[in-house]
A and B are shown apart, each in its own frame.
Chain A
Amino acid sequence: MSRFTSAWQSDFAWKFRRSPVAIVSFLVLMTLVLGAVFAPLVAPYDPFDPGSLNLMNGFTPPMEPNMFSGEVFWLGTDDQGRDVFSTILFGMRISLFVGFAAVLFAMLLGVTLGLLAGYLGGWTETIIMRAADVQLTFPAILVAMLIFGIAKGITPVEYRDQMAIWVLIIAIGLSDWVQFARVVRGATLVEKNKEYVQAARLIGRSKGAIMLRHILPNVMSPVLVIATISLALAIIAEATLSFLGVGAPPTQPSLGTLIRIGQGFLFSGEWWILFFPAVTLLMLALSVNLLGDWLRDALNPRLK
């Protein structure tokens, strides 16, 4: 209880309470995340079970009964008769899972390489940072597509559907580690000459221990800020890849896949297939981004 009170009264929480933008984006994000996590309980249908679909329900407008079955769907149905509301919830699970996992992967990789480059210097630094520079010259989405293409080529056909999600995570993660590495290296360069590090070195602690125990905790706050912003980017990257048809398989649509399907029906007036997934993606990315911005300001003592 006292822990909660002290957290509530902390400087950080105070800043949060004073920022309506942060509160609103936090609420929106939490609603979406909870909806996605508890999708099997919340969603009225299971759109990933192809056996439960009825094609005759296809193209039902929102809140109108289907002309064959008489069923009503809140947000309508898509071309395969999937309930759009349920599909968004399940699709968001994929989007969020891929987003979080890809950022975690990029963070682990980037922070490790950044620490090594910054602390060890010399050849290690040259190799890691030049690799980072080279990768920065390619757009992230291109790198992700390249990795996705190679992975698809080497996995056997029957595992591709299951592998697709993991391949997406690795593809987006690998295209995103550079910014973590650059920031961590920069911060490490500053930290490694400070007295506490020199003291640790003098008493004979190993390089690994110094990096992990002493430097890492002190370079983490910029990493957290980048991680939040990367999360929004990773969600959009996943949507982009799926939109281009190289991401999540059509039978397990993510938000990007839904938008790709929906845009084929824009001219014919079936707007809901595109509109609702697109708005969901917008809310998701925007709330994460606004929270990231706020976090950056809140953690930076120089910005006021």
Chain B
Amino acid sequence: MKKTMLMATAMSLVLGASASAETLKWARAGDALTLDPHAQNEGVTIAVMHQMMEPLILRAPDGNLQAALATEWSVSPDNPEVWNFKLREGVTFHDGADFTAEDVVFSFERALSEESDMKGIISSVASVEAVNDYEVNIITNGPNPILPATLPNIFVIDKGWAEVNNVVDVQDVEGGEETFASQNVNGTGPYKLVSRENDVKTVMTINEDYWGKDEFPMEFTDIKFTPIQNQATRMAALLSGEVDFIQDVPVQDLERIKTTDGKKVLTAPQNRVIFFGLNLSDELLGGNVDGKNPLTDVKVRQAMNMAINREAIQQVVMRGQSQPAGMIAPPFVQGWTEELDSYPEWDVAAAKALMEEAGYGDGFSITLNCPNDRYINDEAICQATVGMLAQIGVTVNLEALPKAQHFPLVNGLESDFYMLGWGIPSYDSEYIFNFLYHTKGELFGTWNGTRYSNAKIDEMTQAIAQEVDLEKRDAMVAEMWQIVKDDVVYLPIHHQVLNWAMDGKVGAAMDSDDQVKVKYFTVD
């Protein structure tokens, strides 16, 4: 009798082990702002959606483009403005519906619609046509040689599902709208949504019918994503085993994690640059200068640029986990050069002299808007900047808010001075000019909170998107960077160094974009 009991227990243990369910308990500082795939072009939001939805072409953790919902793509030999995509056959959405060309056409039209935040990424796309059920043509405005590189964050969702649930239109995030699509997902991705509570947790489980189930490790069967804003709480959660994978690792705690048994840290240069934006319109929203805006004087901007001690921020606030920056593009972006990335030497006396020359020897006051749950030590960097600018007479009122309130201020042109970070998924300068330097409008300049408007930059931004002669294109990009650098449109701070901390059992596939793709993760 006893023996049978023992046998049964042993059996169940063996069986249990073979069908083991492994949950990835994943935490980072902030939550996805929405689950609507086209409503917010924001890193955390996209990272969460990548588990459940797929683009035509994916950027694999090693940085290379990889076939996802499209298996092959090429420019039409007859017409350089037509790209042809062969779609993967036999793919189904989470609700069982078949994935076909009409879903691709629908998703691209949705991503190009008025409320969409993704339309800037694919601004070169004129239209998308279905050739047959498993083939589409993307027609661009003029030739676009880098079209595939712009597609990894354009997710495809089911047309029928969107129509039935009344979510053909993209959610209006700035207007505070909630829709069925902002809380539910029907994608083709490796994981399915189980439940979601905004700012509390998002639970996903493996999609057994996933087309790539045998191609990718997919060793985690479930994902529980929890935003933990407080860095000490996030650390405690990792050390106690409550979560087993964290992003946005507090830089002061890296040593502690490395020396803790059973925990490890992965480090890589990150595709993210941190900078300040300035209101360059005729008048400031707040502050003590009426009738004119001191920031429109390039001398004032140069002075502020000079007053920021980037090396002190790197050493003290970032503990070496950053690289001071002079341009708002990380080193692996096409168009980056060491010379452009050089920054003015920290020189308070020279900065003061410039302020004096500009007629602001007594300084002025301004409000700095800063997120407190988005970038590494974002609030501490802003605080340090308050002190540095005070030394040249600029009185800064600091307002630190969670990103869900911060970003609408930037995009709604409700800030005079703000912090922003930018990652470049296409690894190309065009993406930066398109979103951050082009005059703000419906299609271009959508994240340009500076009111900077330069006809030449606008024209060239649209021109480089279509330039096929790569040598000529590089020369144009170099010229554009020089113009915006001389204009001091933004005050670059640094390139972030990426750290992920995790339990020893998590075999994470790290990528420079800080985009987690759990399907590549292994259980060690």
Which residues from chain A sit less than 8 Å from chain B, CB to CB? 49-51, 53, 55-56, 58-59, 79-81, 156-158, 160-161, 245, 249-251, 263-270
Contacts and interface: CB of A to CB of B under 8 A. Distances in A.
A249 B398 contact: yes
Interface in B397-412: 397-400
Q: Which of A55, A81, A266 counts the most chain B CB atoms within 10 A?
A: A55
B393 to A, nearest CB: 8
A197 to B, nearest CB: 53
A263 B383 contact: no
B383 A157 contact: no
B316 A81 contact: yes
A161 B369 CA distance: 13
B322 to A, nearest CB: 14
Given A56-B312, A80-B387, A158 B397 contact: yes
B380 A80 contact: yes
Nearest to B389: A50
A242 to B, nearest CB: 13
Given A80-B384, A245-B372, A251-B383, A268 B317 contact: no
A267 B387 contact: no
Contacts of A249: 397-398
A270 B252 contact: yes
Contact of A157 (B379, B380, B390, B399): B399
Nearest to A252: B398
A267 B399 contact: no
A54 B379 CA distance: 17
B368 to A, nearest CB: 10
Contact of A250 (B252, B285, B286, B379): B379
A4 to B, nearest CB: 48
B171 to A, nearest CB: 23
23 contacts: A50-B389, A51-B390, A51-B391, A55-B313, A55-B387, A56-B312, A79-B316, A80-B383, A156-B286, A158-B397, A245-B400, A251-B383, A251-B386, A251-B397, A251-B398, A264-B231, A264-B232, A267-B232, A267-B235, A267-B236, A267-B239, A267-B250, A268-B250
Given A51-B391, A79-B317, A264-B250, 6 more contacts: A55-B317, A250-B398, A251-B383, A264-B232, A267-B256, A270-B252
Contact of B367 (A56, A59, A158, A264): A158
B255 interface: yes
Given A156-B286, A157-B399, A50 B367 contact: no
Contacts of A267: 232, 235-236, 239, 250, 252-253, 256
Nearest to B235: A267
A158 B286 contact: yes
A150 to B, nearest CB: 15
A266 B317 contact: no
Interface in B231-245: 231-232, 235-236, 239
Q: Which of B230, B255, B256, B387 counts the most chain A CB atoms within 10 A?
A: B387
Interface string B363-398: 001010000100000011001101111110000111
Contacts of B316: 55-56, 58-59, 79, 81
Contacts of A58: 316-317
A81 B396 CA distance: 18
* Main secondary structure on A side of the interface with B: loop
Given A80-B380, A157-B286, A264-B252, A56 B387 contact: no
Nearest to B315: A56
Contacts of A56: 312, 315-316
Contacts of B379: 250
Contacts of A245: 372, 400
B287 interface: yes
Interface in B313-335: 313, 315-317
A282 B391 CA distance: 35
B51 interface: no
B256 A268 contact: yes
B309 interface: yes
Contact of B232 (A51, A55, A251, A266): A266
Given A51-B387, A266-B232, A158 B256 contact: no
A255 B230 CA distance: 18
Nearest to A156: B286
Nearest to A261: B380
A59 B319 CA distance: 11
A251 B386 CA distance: 8
Q: Which of A156, A158, A245, A249 counts the most chain B CB atoms within 10 A?
A: A158
A156 B288 CA distance: 13
Nearest to B382: A250
Interface string B36-73: 00000000000000000000000000000000000000
A267 B246 CA distance: 16
B221 to A, nearest CB: 31
A69 to B, nearest CB: 11
A79 B315 CA distance: 11
A268 B255 contact: yes
Closest 8 CB pairs of A and B: A51-B390, A268-B252, A158-B286, A50-B390, A50-B387, A58-B316, A53-B387, A55-B312
Contacts of A59: 316
Q: Which of B315, B316, B317, B396 counts the most chain A CB atoms within 10 A?
A: B316
Contacts of A49: 390
Given A250-B398, A267-B256, A268-B253, A55 B384 contact: yes
